[in-house]
Amino acid sequence: MSDDKNDPVEIFRGHVELDYQYTAGVSASRFLRAVEQGKFLGQKCPVDGRVYFPSRGSCPMHAVPFGDDSTVELPDKGTVVTYSIVRVPSENIPLELPYITVQVLIDGADTALGHVLDANLDDVRMGMRVQAKWKPKSEWTTSMANIEYFVPIDEPDADYETYKEHI
Amino acid sequence: MSEPSLTAPHQLSYTYKRSLGPVFSKFFTALRDRKVLGMKRRDGTVLMPPKEYDPDTGESLDEMVELADAGVVTSWVWVPKPRRQQPLTQPFAYALVQLDGADTAFLHAVDAGSEDKMSTGMRVKMRWADETIGAITDFVFVPAE
Ligand SMILES: [Zn+2]
């Protein structure tokens, strides 16, 4: 395909689309129903006490199922453990360039959540304290899309020692 | 478990651009002009679709030759319920078609109307789209008579 009918055709535009009916399963369904209520749920491994967030049904380290009693509620605040400034567009990401992607370690969790941070490019840093910016409550559904992005909060940076195992 | 599992449609899509390079650029540009180019190997046989390198010897190839817009079905399968994004919305056949002048067959769609019109060895010809853009979807095959 080319823009001009006389130009040679030099580019192939590929578009792969796969349609699924996704079934969340017990653990992710419970997680998403909590997100609908504005809450974050993690699951604590009965073997070593690590908290997995989002919750996932079983521990990938110890291969033990997470029972209902393993569920723990977490806050919507956390620490940026790593980040990237994105300057290259993706056709299916409607964000204005440049934007910041972050891995956020939610307080009390041992696994990081990937999301977008609304902050000045010069300000973002490892250890930065951030909080989820939720959509208006009337728009909440059983979806992580309830969280629009993360925003910096006015708290001292987390000490590197507190998150170095989670980068 | 008190509540049933959540379920929702999920679409995974992946868009990308690929540089065609000199050989495929010629091939697709020719398609836009409603011509089909194969690639002649040193032994005189013709590859369709064209290849940049000889699959046996690895040598570079650059002698493209125009092929007929008709050929023979060497194998086929009927698609009774086409899915979204398949080349035709009505039932059709996927077929390996060896164009006249080519020594290899390639996969494409045959708009045959019904399965009983399909047979191995049948003749097919290209039916071009009203507007060609330089893509493999610029044509489909139809039974030739
Ligand atoms: Zn574990």
In order, the DSSP letters of A71-92 are EEEE-SEEEEEEEEEE-S--TT
CA of A71 to the centre of ligand 1 (A): 13
Q: Measured between CB atoms, does A117 come within 8 Å of chain B?
A: no
pLDDT of A79-122, one tens digit each? Answer: 999 999 999 988 777 889 999 999 999 999 999 999 999 999 99
pLDDT of B31-78, one tens digit each? Answer: 999 999 999 999 999 999 999 999 999 999 999 999 999 999 999 999
Residue B114 lies in a domain: yes
- Which of B14, B58, B57, B63 minimizes the C-alpha distance to B38? B63
Q: What is the pLDDT of residue B2?
A: 64
CA of A127 to the centre of ligand 1 (A): 26
How many independent structural domains does chain B possess?
1
Rounded to an integer, what distance in angstroms lies between the CA atom of residue A51 and that of residue B6?
23
Residue B16 lies in a domain: no
Complex-level ipTM: 0.80
Q: Are A21 and A33 in contact (CB under 8 A)?
A: no
Q: Measured between CB atoms, does A88 come within 8 Å of chain B?
A: no
Residues in chain B within 8 Å Cβ distance of A5: 32
Ligand 1 (single-atom ion) residues, CB below 5 Å: A 45, 47, 59, 61-62
Residues in chain A within 8 Å Cβ distance of B19: 10-12
Q: What is the pLDDT of residue A17?
A: 85
Q: What is the pLDDT of residue B145?
A: 75
Length in residues, chain B: 145
**Residue B124's pLDDT band (cuts 50, 70, 90):** very high
Residue B12 lies in a domain: no
Rounded to an integer, what distance in angstroms lies between the CA atom of residue A63 and that of residue B67?
59
Residue B2 lies in a domain: no
- Which of A9, A31, A153 minimizes the C-alpha distance to A80? A153
Rounded to an integer, what distance in angstroms lies between the CA atom of residue B53 and that of residue A106?
53
Tell if the pTM clears 0.90, that is, is over it.
no
